[in-house]
Amino acid sequence: MEENKYTKILVGLSALATAAAGIIHLWLASIHWFHSPAHGIFFLIVGVAQVLWSNFVYRQPSPRLYIIGAVMSGWLIVLYGITRWLPAPFHHGPEAIGMMDLTCKACEALGMITLAILVFQGLVLSAGRPAARRMIALIVLFSFITGFMTYGLARAAEPVFPEWVPPAEVQLSHDEGVPPDHDH
């Protein structure tokens, strides 16, 4: 009975953290929509996916949803890191690091950690530690693969949608929602 309570707490925490990240992504979609449609569309899709996943996992928790959620969170964390190091797709350079971004990534990291615990715990009980370790390694591997694939596909799509690349002087701060050189 105690384990069931522990599992419910981890599922609830993961659902809440991922929903919070989804809400942040929806807010970022509204900020980016007009100056960078590609970013706005991406944030809208990701935000909706995170909120929907949170609802599904909270109502019907399952090992499959835990794995999907862990990879989704890991993918977004990896993609964020890439776009802070390399030029972001549909942008002129690496994006800045903002407090709202870090809050979103902290939510995703919390969601991913709680889900990894649930996956590991479930596999240790059913298949043993080696299988549990392999699954965690696969989640991390798929997070990196999907992060780099998304980045590469988005960079490859830039020539197809050149009108979606904003002018170099238009770069919004996620924390303020206004260009950094804009006077208040």
Position 93 scores a pLDDT of: 82
Taking residue 4's Cβ as centre, other Cβ atoms within 10 Å add up to 8
For 9, half-sphere exposure in the C-beta direction (CA atoms, 13 angstrom radius) is 7
End-to-end alpha-carbon separation of the chain, Å? 56
Domain extents in the chain: 2-158
State residue 165's pLDDT score: 72
| 158 three-state secondary structure | coil
φ, ψ dihedrals at 171, nearest 5°: -135, 115
Torsion from C-alpha of 18, 23, 25, 29, nearest 10 degrees: 160
Distance of CA 84 to the CA centre of its chain: 14
Q: pLDDT exceeding 70 applies to what percent of the chain?
A: 88
Q: What does the alpha-carbon distance between residue 14 and residue 23 come to, in Å, rounded to a whole number?
A: 14
Residues of the chain with pLDDT under 50: 1, 176, 178-184
Give how far Cα 85 sits from Cα of 21, 69, 94, 137, 164, Å: 21, 25, 6, 24, 21
Tokens for 172? 């919004």
CA distance 88 to 86: 6
Give the Cα separation of 144 and 121 in Å (integer): 23
State residue 169's pLDDT score. 57
Indicate the Cα dihedral angle 39, 41, 45, 48, nearest 10°. 100
pLDDT tens for each residue of 37-74: 888 999 999 999 999 999 999 999 999 999 999 999 99
Of residues 109, 73, 86, 81, the one with CA closest to residue 97 = 81
Axis-axis angle for helices 37-59, 129-157 (nearest 10): 160
